[in-house]
């Protein structure tokens, strides 16, 4: 990373290596030519490693929300019922997406900072009976809560004959989600989080069950038409003009990830988040999430009394060149969130903790 840049400790976008940034300077090419086909086939292969799948993968030229919207628009038809655990901003948006598509979202809600239990999900599924899909946000970026039961929830969805969709936008790469083994029908992640590429691409895994369903019941969407992406993808193309520089960057970022080794990358996220939680605890700060559900990629912490959120983050950025995020909804002004994603290492963690400790000492407003 260039020393002039700020250290981006946001829960995405996150720091991108010079190697990945430079990849975007490659020439613009014909997206219907051999050079692009080779590039995209390479990206597809590496993306399959990321999702640990032998199935299909797609890369959309859209932010993560596009990937979520694609999952909903391809699976939900008017009148369908989906179960959606709602425990923060992104899971609330997912429930809204289901409703916008004409479905009913049965929300299994829990307070910000917690996650609904598996038993609550189970009860909701039993009550609904005919569930079309479970839409589960794995890692609620807005609160720093990660559900510990992705595998079990997917199994439960299967037992109800429902599709299991997992929004792993802020977690995949920092966590392993082996989609074939765990029975995830659609898993979504974003380029700007643990993959450590620039923002602007959504990566999806698609199960055989989804492919079969869409053959019988094609989706009513053009840009996010999954069967169309799969048809073009089989020859190394995308239906619509891809964001070429971002594809170059993603290719390089995935190479970096695979060179490090997927297991090692996940371990590094474990280690760095442990250091961050330990560091904030030693400052006397309280993490939002309890240890059972705390996220490895988003460390959300309550401010001590009297700290002004905007002033704190401004000082951190101005005096230390470190950028962290504030809180969402009921946590706005009360919580700050440190991203622990992608390139995160012991030096970044150390710098961040020292800067946070120093900045918290700043004079409080009278």
Ligand X SMILES: Cc1ncc(COP(=O)(O)O)c(C=O)c1O
Residue 90 makes contact with ligand X by CB under 6 A: yes
Residue 297 makes contact with ligand X by CB under 6 A: no
Q: At what angle do helices 346-360 and 309-320 cross, to 10 degrees?
A: 130
User: Least distance from C-beta 102 to ligand X, angstroms?
Assistant: 21
Q: Which is nearer to ligand X, 203 or 280 (CB)?
A: 203
Residue 104 makes contact with ligand X by CB under 6 A: no
- Closest alpha carbon to 347 in 295, 276, 256, 283: 276
User: Least distance from C-beta 350 to ligand X, angstroms?
Assistant: 25
Alpha-carbon span 111 to 254, nearest angstrom:
35
Interaction pattern, residues 129-168, with ligand X; x per rule: CB under 6 A: --------x-x-x-------------------------x-
Q: Which listed range, 62-70, 119-127, 204-212, 229-237, lies at the site for ligand X (CB under 6 A)?
A: 62-70
- Closest alpha carbon to 244 in 59, 113, 97, 45: 59
User: Least distance from C-beta 33 to ligand X, angstroms?
Assistant: 29
- Closest alpha carbon to 144 in 337, 306, 352: 337
Q: How many helices (H) and strands (E) does the chain have?
A: 13, 14
Residue 338 makes contact with ligand X by CB under 6 A: no
- Closest alpha carbon to 357 in 300, 281, 268: 281
Q: Which listed range, 41-49, 60-68, 203-211, 261-269, lies at the site for ligand X (CB under 6 A)?
A: 60-68
Residue 12 makes contact with ligand X by CB under 6 A: yes
Q: Which is nearer to ligand X, 139 or 352 (CB)?
A: 139
DSSP 148: S
User: Least distance from C-beta 170 to ligand X, angstroms?
Assistant: 4
Joined tokens for residue 73: 């628009």
Alpha-carbon span 286 to 301, nearest angstrom:
6
How many Å separate Cα 129 from the centre of its chain? 29
Near ligand X in 237-296, by CB under 6 A: none
* Residues that bind ligand X in the complex, under the rule CB under 6 A: 12, 63-65, 68, 90, 137, 139, 141, 167, 169-170, 190
């Amino acid at each position: 990373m260039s020393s002039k840049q700020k250290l981006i400790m946001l829960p995405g976008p996150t720091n991108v290596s010079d190697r990945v940034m430079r990849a975007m300077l490659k020439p613009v090419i014909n997206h219907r030519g051999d050079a692009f086909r080779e590039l995209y086939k390479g990206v597809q292969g590496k993306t399959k490693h990321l999702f640990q799948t032998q199935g299909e993968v797609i890369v959309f030229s859209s932010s993560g929300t596009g990937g979520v919207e694609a999952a909903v628009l391809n699976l939900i038809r008017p009148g369908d019922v989906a179960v959606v655990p709602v425990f923060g901003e992104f899971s609330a948006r997912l429930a809204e997406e289901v409703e916008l598509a004409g479905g009913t979202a049965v929300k299994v809600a829990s307070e910000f900072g917690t996650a609904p239990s598996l038993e609550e999900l189970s009860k909701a599924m039993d009550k609904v009976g005919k569930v079309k899909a479970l839409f589960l946000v794995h890692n609620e970026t807005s609160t720093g809560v990660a559900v510990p039961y992705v595998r079990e929830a997917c199994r439960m969805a299967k037992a109800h004959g429902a599709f299991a969709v997992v929004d792993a936008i802020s977690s995949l790469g920092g966590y392993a989600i082996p989609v074939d083994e765990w029975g995830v029908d659609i898993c979504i992640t974003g380029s700007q989080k643990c993959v450590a590429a620039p923002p602007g691409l959504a990566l999806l895994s698609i199960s055989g069950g989804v492919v079969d369903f869409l053959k019988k019941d094609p989706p009513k969407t053009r840009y996010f038409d999954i069967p169309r992406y799969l048809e073009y993808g089989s020859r190394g193309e995308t239906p619509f003009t891809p964001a070429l520089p971002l594809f170059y960057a993603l290719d390089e970022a995935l190479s970096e990830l695979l060179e490090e080794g997927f297991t090692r990358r996940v371990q590094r996220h474990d280690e760095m988040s442990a250091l961050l939680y330990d560091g904030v605890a030693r400052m006397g700060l309280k993490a939002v999430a309890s240890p059972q559900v705390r996220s490895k990629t988003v460390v959300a912490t309550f401010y001590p009394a009297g700290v002004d959120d905007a002033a704190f983050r401004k000082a951190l950025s101005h005096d230390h060149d470190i950028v962290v995020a504030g809180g969402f909804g009921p946590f706005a002004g009360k919580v700050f969130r440190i991203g622990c994603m992608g390139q995160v290492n012991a030096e970044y963690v150390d710098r961040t903790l020292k800067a946070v400790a120093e900045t918290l000492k700043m004079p409080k407003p009278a």
